[in-house]
Amino acid sequence: MYLEKEERIYGFIGTGHITVAVVHGLLKSSYRPNQIFVSPRNAEKAASLAQSFSEVTVAESNQEVVDKSKVVFICVRPQIVEEVLSDLKFEEDHIIISLVPTTKMEHLSKMVFPANKMSRCVPLPPFAEHIGSVLYYSNHDYFEEVFKGTSALTKAEDEDQLHVLWTYTALISAFYELLNQTSQWAIKKGVPQAVTEKYAASMYHSLSSLALEVGEEGFSAMAEEAATPGGLNEHVLNRIMAVNGFDVYHEALDEVLKRVEKA
């Protein structure tokens, strides 16, 4: 499927942190949208986007966003999505892209009827710089067209798979706290904060780059290779495994997945 240039008009219902990242990422693409309308709810972020990009216009209302857009992004909190969308009127030819983690397509379809081309996706803040992959599930082929020229795309086979992988995003704060905790340990040993934080971020960034090349044997093979017998990595890994230290991750992810699937 193909979107003509005059059809590349995107609208955003909700103007939060992720909306800002997505708008930046889309407008840095070689396949950039012709025009973007953003809702006025977060006036400061909306105004900032309009000042940064000539393609961005702050609409007077959410309905104006819908009326003037071909592709409508739903970017509001799960708690208010039904309240926000219930007052809006959509057309059958609208293309809907939802960034709401706990609103399934079956439920979404009732809120945006008669629009029936729907996608759900998980862009993270680094999308602004085209870093990382965008996880998505879609019932049509326009999604790839909208995100053409941006980040890599990872398509889930169904919504159940989407929910499992979406659950990974609940680890973001834990990841940053791991960086913080290890940095605080080094700081107590006399290393300046700026030095330890820069090195910690650089180390994990380099390891993530290698992880992108994971082979058929999976991450376990990479962990085994790094854990040289009698070495430092083996020592730390054995200490964590001895107390089932990774079990808390599985338990927490199970709890988050239940919350996502329950909605």
How do residues 31-81 score in pLDDT, each as one tens digit?
889 999 999 888 899 999 999 999 999 999 999 999 999 999 999 998 899
* CA-wise closest residue to 137 among 157, 112, 113, 167: 157
Mean pLDDT (the chain, rounded): 93
In this predicted model, what pLDDT tens digit does every residue of 202-242 receive, in sequence order?
Answer: 999 999 999 999 989 999 999 999 999 999 999 999 999 99
| pLDDT value of residue 4 | 76
Residue 47 CA to residue 163 CA, distance in Å, equals 33
Q: Distance between CA 263 and CA 249 in Å, rounded?
A: 22
Residue 75 near residue 14, CB atoms below 8 Å:
yes
41, 16 contact by CB (below 8 A): no
pLDDT grade, residue 263 (50/70/90)?
A: low
Going by pLDDT thresholds of 50, 70 and 90, the confidence category of residue 84 is very high
Task: Give the domains, in start order, of the chain with CATH numbers.
Answer: 5-155 (3.40.50.720), 170-262 (1.10.3730)
pLDDT band at 1 (very low <50, low <70, confident <90, very high): low
Distances (CA, A) of 251 to 19, 245, 257, 259: 30, 11, 10, 13
Those residues whose C-beta lies under 8 Å from the C-beta of residue 226, and which sit 6 or more positions away, are 233
